[in-house]
Amino acid sequence: MNDRINARQFLLLVIFFTIGSSVLFVPSVTAATAKQDAWISIVTGTGLSLLLVYLYIAVADRYPDLSMVELSQKLLGRWLGTVVSIFLIINTFVVGAVSLVDFAGTFVSRQIMPDTPVYAANTLYVLSAVIGLRMGLRTIARAAEAMFPLTMVLFVIMILTVSPNMNTDNLLPVLEVEFKPFIKSNIAYLGFSTFPTVFFLMMYPSCVREGKKASKAFLLGTLLGGLFLLVITVACIAVLGAEGTARQAYPSYTLAKKINIANFFTRIEVLMATLWLIALYFKLIVYFYAGMRGLAQLFKIQDYRALVLPLGVISLALSRILYSSAAFRHEWDGKIWPVYVATSGLLIPLLLLGTGAVRKRIRSR
């Protein structure tokens, strides 16, 4: 099946994925630990993210024709490789995609359309993802090209119109954060924005043309996504303050509510929410694609698109089972998710890279 994308399209998918749900969560979780120095955590977190992406590129360069599931079975053997593959698929679909489905539905029903049941919002979101995945990765990438200018225009409008409300005193004093909270805020950033990008190894480089350009696109997309999150975090703290940012469930959405130009240009936060829902959609697509392609490879199914509709229905059922309440989700996102996803985003790539190096050395001897 010819479903390959070019480096520019891959770049946009990486940017959307990095922003995704992070644009709503990262300002609050970093401000909760690093206070007014949360923006410094974003800067250092972006630097660490680039190192992680170098790790992913190193894995991909050694085995350019294999996805992460295929590579696990090749290097770790049939049984251990299958266990690792199943763990990765669970992470992409059950933990990743289902979480985003639940989050999108909850956000829409609570913030935008409070009279709309969560299941209805979830159904519409999953249906749009199913339609996109049925059309293939290349169609999704073209949609990202079409949507990216719109999201950037909305983002620039939001920053420019909210800037009169910014108070730079909220960013002072600088470098007051202690070491332990600073490390926690970096881990939170990596957990939401960077560790999950390891699932791009399910499509990169096997589904991306222009190998060297694709590697640069991976790094550049991570950097640009980090800069986007840096700007939105600085804006949140400058307008809402560190404590106000930490208390808000969706601080960047609250930030958009502050826009008021001459009592005329106001109440446009729904337009701003469009930006976040678009980015979240492409992040959901990448999770779904990685999970379904991995499942298809594990069970030797020729076309992953045969799994789209059944897994979409399953995700709807699981979205309201796995996250039983807002309190549970808050605990999960703040304390468990960053550590849990580090298994896929750090330990497994290191395991694969180390195992490959050992096997290569043994063969050379």
Q: List the CATH number of the domain containing 67.
A: 1.20.1740.10
Dmax (CA) for the chain in angstroms is 76
pLDDT at 340: 84
> Within a domain: residue 31?
yes
> Within a domain: residue 182?
yes
Residue that has been written with the tokens 């509709």 in this structure: 309
Q: How do residues 154-181 score in pLDDT, each as one tens digit? A: 888 888 888 888 888 888 888 888 888 8
pLDDT at 269: 76
Nearest to 313 by CA among 119, 156, 149: 119
Pairwise CA distance, residues 313 & 301, whole Å: 19
Q: Would you give the DSSP letter of residue 207?
A: T
Pairwise CA distance, residues 94 & 315, whole Å: 7
> Within a domain: residue 361?
no
Q: How do residues 254-265 score in pLDDT, each as one tens digit? A: 888 877 776 766
Pairwise CA distance, residues 51 & 17, whole Å: 17
What is the residue-wise DSSP string for 61-121?
HHSTT--HHHHHHHHH-HHHHHHHHHHHHHIIIIIIIHHHHHHHHHHIIIII-TTS-HHHH
Q: Do residues 130 and 309 lie in contact, with contact meaning Cβ atoms separated by under 8 Å?
A: yes
Nearest to 65 by CA among 131, 129, 4: 4
pLDDT at 277: 85
- How far is residue 306 from each of residues 34, 82, 190, 284, measured CA to CA in Å? 46, 21, 33, 18
pLDDT at 264: 65
Give me the residues of the chain with pLDDT under 50, please: 1
Q: What share of the chain is helix, strand, coil (3-state, %, to 5)?
A: 85, 0, 15
> Within a domain: residue 114?
yes
Nearest to 63 by CA among 76, 51, 49, 75: 75
Q: Would you give the DSSP letter of residue 321?
A: T
Range of the domain at 28: 7-355
pLDDT at 205: 85
Q: How many domains does the chain have?
A: 1
Pairwise CA distance, residues 365 & 279, whole Å: 49
Pairwise CA distance, residues 353 & 365, whole Å: 19
Q: How far is CA 91 from the centre of its chain?
A: 13
Pairwise CA distance, residues 14 & 91, whole Å: 18
